[in-house]
Copies of this chain bind each other. A is one copy, B any other.
Amino acid sequence: MARRNILFIMCDQLRFDYLGCTGHPTIKTPNIDALAARGVTFSNTYCQSPICGPSRMSFYTGRYVSSHGSASNFAPLRIGERNIGHHLNPLGMRTVLVGKTHMIADREGMKRLGVEADSAVGVHHAQAGFETYERDDGVHPDSMVRPDVVYNQYLRSKGYAEDDNPWHWVANAVQTDEGVRSGFFNDCVDLPARVTDEDSETPYMTRRAMEFLAEDDGEKPWLLHLSYIKPHWPYVAPAPYNDMYSAEDVVPAIRSEGELADTNPLMKLFMERVAGKTFGKDTARETVIPVYMGLISQIDDQLGILFEFMGKRGLLDDTMVVFTSDHGDYLGDHWMGDKDYFHNPSVRIPLIVADPSEAADTTRGTVDDSLVEAIDLLPTFIEHQGGEVARNILDGRSLMPRIRGEDIEWRSYSVSEYDYSCQVFRPETGRMPLDCRTYMVATERWKYVHAPGYPPVLFDLENDPDELVDLGLSAEHKGVRQMMADHLADWALRYRQRETWSEEHNVRMTGMEEQLGVLIGYWNEGDAKGKDPGILPKRRPVAGD
């Protein structure tokens, strides 16, 4: 088989609908649009949790958050979980990282099992199975910036040396008349970053990807995870991207006054966060969204450069390109900012898969609106690489048949989860962390949110595609809510931890005890009628006979 690579591009906090090809009226993303034209756009894709860490752990394990257990940012992924490397490396594929993973090692588990942090196994675990060509988790507040952030070293080498933490004070800060302001404040992010386009994060990381491609010896197929931090906050863009768009390019907020009345009490806590208050105001939207759009166009420009580089080297012919994001961004829709809750701006993600192989020709340029989930990517990669998708381990399903245009049975609902135990409002809820759980289950028609201790939320996606009317307490929708709750129960009851036996092995074990002579409840030999008599213990002569 010809060498086949995978370029697995992930943005951070990129909404599904902020691309030209997914319908945004003013944004310019010609290179991503061209990618969509040569691949399949999965237009109804949900992330497994609308927050960075848990969502990524689902991408990297192919398992739901409840399955892998890393439900909060910075909660270590337990040592026993199989990661992307465990699945792909045995198929002969390198798994290489340039950018962010948010992976936190399970140091306690490593200690328990005697796995040394600097051993090959320890490093493999700590990096989610990636070779880290360059890792940068992207957000480095002054109090927790690590001395080994390569990008900071780079910035210093380029002369941005006056600050301790140039990621913050150069790449994510702006210069005002009154001094330098952190990009964590949104009031003046329309000003340009204190870094040039060339030295800003997205071009830097794109160059690192190209450096890997240039250095690669071509011996093994690779999966390159190019994982950008942008357009994640701090929403600071270098010139010219900071003023590529203006308030006129901003689409209206998806929100209604009705959402502020009789709001579901848990949803309300999300709305009342600082980000909700900020983005509830048009000033903030008109200041920040143009920059958010600029950061996306910057990514698009960089992808243009990357694709051209790859094309010149012939790499686009044997590389499947995947473009996605870990979650979205409310940007003021539904009176919220940031992400974390389950409206589409937060929980839906863009997903484009462009497979250059002939088998994918029939679907090129099409849109597939099936219910797709982030966990489907790892099985897709495994099948792409010729491996078997282990159903006892992987919760997701390979998209390869869809990409080949095959008519297959598909899931009828999708699930996403969110753990609000780390939210500043948790103490107000009176709930302890293990009870701070929320679940979204969505069919093509309905979206249902279950949170223990709170009333349910229900949206009719057909008649209310903007999710403005919560039917969670509507008497006439009781049956629909029960149907959705049943889906959720079915989902929750599925085996997700029965990992040590494959289905094939389990089939072989059916009836095996009897075949090995463990005869349960046999009265005598007559009970073996129709079975292999070899299973029967032989009547033995009396000793001494």
Q: Which of A's residues lie within 8 Å of B, judged by CB?
A: 66-82, 86, 106, 108-109, 112-115, 119-121, 125, 139, 141-144, 162-163, 168-169, 173, 175, 178-182, 184-187, 233, 273-279, 281, 284, 337-338, 391-392, 419, 421-424, 426-427, 432-434, 437, 439, 450, 452, 485, 488-490, 492-501, 503, 506-507, 509-514, 516-525, 527, 537, 539-543, 545
Chain B residue at minimum C-beta to C-beta distance from A495:
B434
Residues of B within 8 A of A503 (CB): 432-434
CA distance A169 to B517 in the complex (A): 13
Cross-chain contact B519 with A184 (CB below 8 angstroms) = yes
29 contacts between A and B (CB under 8 A): A69-B498, A70-B498, A71-B495, A78-B500, A112-B121, A114-B115, A115-B115, A144-B516, A179-B542, A180-B539, A180-B540, A181-B539, A185-B524, A185-B537, A273-B521, A275-B521, A277-B523, A278-B527, A337-B521, A338-B520, A392-B434, A422-B513, A423-B510, A424-B514, A426-B511, A452-B493, A488-B489, A488-B493, A497-B497
Cross-chain contact B509 with A421 (CB below 8 angstroms) = yes
For A184, give its contact among B66, B139, B485, B517 (CB under 8 Å): B517
One complex includes copies of this chain to the number of 2
Chain B proximity of A433: nearest CB distance (Å): 4
Q: Is the interface of A mostly helix, strand, loop or mixed?
A: loop
Chain B residue at minimum C-beta to C-beta distance from A287:
B523
CA distance A426 to B523 in the complex (A): 22
CA distance A493 to B114 in the complex (A): 32
Identify the interface centre among A273, A337, A521: most chain B CB within 10 Å of its CB.
A521
CA distance A86 to B162 in the complex (A): 50
CA distance A80 to B393 in the complex (A): 14
Residues of B within 8 A of A274 (CB): 519-522, 527
Chain B proximity of A54: nearest CB distance (Å): 10
